[in-house]
């Protein structure tokens, strides 16, 4: 079952991931990133960063939709991990059925504004996330388990 869907530009990294794995009792991380799915060297780097005993799969958007349709995500307690909102949006529109999405970190850059702790949004990400929310998906921002979550609409109001 999908226990947590998170968007975090750093993907598998340090304490943040370790804490979410424990919090949600995760035993498999499925990273959905089409570019990364074609880069075997970087896949090895991310696999080495994962905690022992946690299965890692790196799929393209299309592979993730097929895996979902084939009920492959029903076998373990899974964290779906996306690098950016665009890949998340594309994957959901193409058939990945999600109930809830956690926004963890989207990086910095021009046009981005910090809206929750260190989480930034720009208008493009905000528009895509709001479109997903209109499909009935609950979306919230939260960096770590001990930091309070914030609903998307409240964060977007700060843009």
| DSSP string of 45-76, one letter each residue | HHHHHSPTT-EEEEE-HHHHHHHHHTTGGGSS
pLDDT in tens, 112-127: 999 998 899 999 999 9
Angle formed by the axes of helices 85-93 and 123-134, nearest 10°: 30
pLDDT in tens, 20-45: 999 999 999 999 999 999 999 999 99
Token pair of 59, please? 């799929």
The conformation of residue 139, written as its DSSP 8-state character, comes to E
Look up the pTM and report it: 0.95
pLDDT in tens, 55-83: 999 999 999 999 999 999 999 999 999 99
- CATH class of segment(s) 2-111: alpha beta
């Amino acid at each position: 079952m999908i226990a947590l869907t998170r968007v975090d530009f750093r993907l598998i990294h340090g304490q943040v991931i370790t804490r979410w794995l424990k919090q949600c009792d995760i035993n498999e991380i499925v990273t959905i990133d089409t570019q990364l799915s074609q880069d075997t060297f970087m896949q090895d780097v991310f696999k080495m960063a994962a905690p022992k005993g946690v299965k890692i799969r790196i799929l393209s958007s299309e592979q993730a939709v097929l895996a979902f349709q084939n009920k492959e995500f029903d076998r373990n307690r899974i964290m779906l991990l996306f690098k950016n909102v665009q890949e998340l949006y594309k994957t959901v529109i193409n058939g990945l059925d999600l109930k809830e999405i956690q926004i963890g970190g989207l990086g910095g850059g021009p046009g981005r504004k910090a809206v929750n702790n260190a989480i930034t949004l720009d208008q493009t990400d905000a528009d895509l996330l709001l479109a997903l929310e209109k499909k009935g998906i609950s979306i919230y921002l939260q960096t770590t388990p001990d930091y309070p979550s914030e609903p998307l609409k409240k964060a977007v109001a700060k843009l």
